[in-house]
Amino acid sequence: MKHILIFFLTGLILGSVGCRKKEAEVDPGSITVLMTLNFKDNFINPKLGAIVFASDSVGHVIADTMYKGNGKFFLDAKPGIKIPSRFMLTIVTWEPSMHDFEISLNSYLQVESSEWTLQGHRPDTLGHVTVSLSNVPQSTLILYANSGYANLTTISNDVIALTYLDPDDLFVKTENSQGQLFRWISDIHPGGIYDVDMASAQAPALTTIGLSGKYYEARIWGYKNTDYENSLPVMTEFSFGDIPAGNFIRVPDLPEHFQGYHTELKQVESWDSSTSYTFRVNGAIPSGFQKIDARVENLTVYPVGKIHLYPSGDFTSTNATWQFYGHNNQSFSWTMHGCDTTKYFKLPKLPESIIQFFPTLSLDSLYFYNVELSKYPDFASYDEIIHHIFNPTHPHSQNKLNASTLIYGQSK
C-alpha cells in the first residue's frame, strides 16, 4: 500500500506556464538579497540544519546557502546572474524519525523576492515516556498520541512516545473488527514509565464519515480549545483502507477532551493510483468524506523528475511529489507546490550543498510518487496561501498561521 508522506517540463520553461505570465527580469545589480528568511520556534531542528536555494525557470541555481538555528538569514543572489522577478524557492530540512532519517525538500513555484517567516511546528522535545499495555484485544491496531506526537502501530510493550509538554495527557486507542476502545491518561511526565490496563478501556463516542471513493486516508487532530494554530494537537484518528464506495468509517469524537478538530480527508482513485484529492476543515468532524470537485484528466510521467498533467475542476493548489530511499536509512521526499494552472513540473538542478551533504541523492534516483490537488476553503488562490503562511504582514494574516499547516501532523 502506498503511504502518503506528508507537499515539470518537457521542452517548455516553468515560468511560462505558472500562476502568472512571465514578468520582466530584474537587473542583477539591483538585487543583492533574494530572500529574507526568519526562522522561528525551531523550524530548523536545533541540532541539525537546513538548506535553502532558489532556481530560475529552467532549474539553474541562482542562490544557495545553508542555515542553522533560529534567527533572520539572507539568501544572497549569486553575482553576475540575471534574477527573474519570480523564481522557485526550495527549502530542505532533515529529521530523525522512528525508523530512518527523513529528508524533506519543498519547492514553491512563482515566488517573489520577499521576506518569509518560517515558524516551527513543535518545540524542543522534553524527553519521552515509555508505555506498555496489558489486556490488549487480539489483532488490533494501536494508536498512541499526546500533544504533538502520534504513533499508529501493533506494538503493545515498551513503546516510546516523545513529549513536548510537562505535564501532558496520553491518548491510547485500540481498533479491530470488534470495535474501538480508548484510555485517556492524565498527568504524564517526561521520563515516566506507564503501564496501561486496557481492560478498563471505554468505547468512544463515534462520528460516522461516509465514503464516496474506494481508497481513503483519514487523519483527525483534536484540540483542547479552538486555537487551530496551536502546534501541539493530539491525534484522535489515523485510519486508511480500501473500502467500496457507499460504506463508511467511524472515528472517535471526544467532546469531554476536545473542543474542536482539524480533519484531513484524502481520497485516491484506486489502490495504486498516482493522483489524490484532499479536503481539509477545522471545527466539527464532517459527516461525509467530502471530495473536492476536481480531477486529473491526464498525467504523463517523464524521467529525471518531469511530469505533464491536465487538471480540471475547482481547487486551489497542485502538489507533485517524488521519493527516494537511499542507503543508511535515508528517506527523501521532494514536493513541488504550484497553483491550479500549473501543468508542467520539473525538479530543479541540485545545488552543490545538497550533493555534498547527501551524495546518494540525484535526480535520476528520485521516482515519481503522486500528484495531489488540494482545496483550501479559506483561500482564493495559491499566492494567497503562500503569503498567508509565510508572510506575517499579509492582510489576511492577522492570526499568524503555523507553517506546518502545509504538512499537518508531521510531528517528530
Q: What is the pLDDT of residue 14?
A: 31
* β pairing state of 33-40 and 114-119: parallel
pLDDT of residue 159: 94
The residue with greater pLDDT, 249 or 87, is 87
Look at the chain and count its residues: 412
Query: Burial level of 136, CB count in 10 A (0-12/13-18/19+)?
Result: buried
- Going by DSSP bridges, is the β-strand pair 159-163/127-134 parallel, antiparallel, or unpaired? antiparallel
What is the pLDDT at residue 48? 87
For residues 162-182, average pLDDT: 92
Cell 509565510 belongs to which residue?
390
**What pLDDT, in 10s, does the model give residues 287-303?**
876 667 788 888 899 99
Q: Which three cell numbers stand for residue 177?
A: 473488527
Looking at every residue in the chain, the average pLDDT score rounds to 81
Q: Tell me the per-residue pLDDT of 214-235, one tens digit each, with 9 for 90 and over.
A: 677 888 999 988 877 776 889 8
Query: Distance between CA 295 and CA 18 in Å, rounded?
Result: 19
Residue type, 406: L
Which residue reads 539572507 in cell numbers? 74
Cell of 411: 510531528
Cα distances from 322 to residues 8, 76, 142, 365, 371, in angstroms, run 12, 28, 30, 10, 9
C-alpha cell at 403: 507553517
Condensed to tens digits (0 to 9), the pLDDT of residues 73-90 reads: 999 988 888 888 899 999
Q: What is the pLDDT of residue 374?
A: 83
Handedness of CA 338, 342, 347, 353 (dihedral sign): negative
Least-confidence region, from 244-248, 333-337, 391-395, 400-404: 400-404
Percent of the chain with pLDDT over 70: 81
Confidence category of residue 335, pLDDT binned at 50, 70, 90: very high
Using one digit for the tens of pLDDT, what is the confidence trace for 381-409?
888 888 877 876 654 443 333 333 333 33
> E strands of 224-305, at which residues?
234-242, 248-252, 260-268, 275-283, 294-302
Please give the pLDDT value at position 244: 64
pLDDT of residue 366: 94
**So what's the pLDDT on residue 213?**
62
> 307 falls in which pLDDT band (50, 70, 90)?
very high
Q: pLDDT value at position 410? A: 33
pTM for the structure as a whole: 0.70
* The C-alpha cell that represents 351 in the structure block: 545545488
339 and 383 Cβ atoms separated by less than 8 Å: yes
pLDDT (0 to 100) of residue 41: 78
Of the listed ranges 123-137, 175-189, 204-218, the one predicted with least confidence: 204-218
Question: With 50 as the cut, is the pLDDT of residue 23 above it?
Answer: no
Cell of 255: 467532546
Instruction: Provide the pLDDT for residue 394.
Output: 52
Rounded CA separation 77/368 (Å): 30
- Distance from first CA to last CA of the chain, Å, rounded? 23
Half-sphere exposure of 218 (CA within 13 A, CB side): 29
Report the distance separating Cα 13 and Cα 171, nearest Å.
49
Q: What is the DSSP letter of 403?
A: G
Burial code (b: 16+ CB inside 10 Å, e: under 16) for 321-349 equals: bbbbebeeebbbbbbbbbbbebbbbbbbb
Asked if 122 and 42 count as a contact pair (C-beta separation under 8 A), the reply is: yes
* Residue 347 to residue 366: CA distance in whole angstroms: 10
Sign of the torsion formed by the C-alpha atoms of 296, 298, 303 and 304: negative
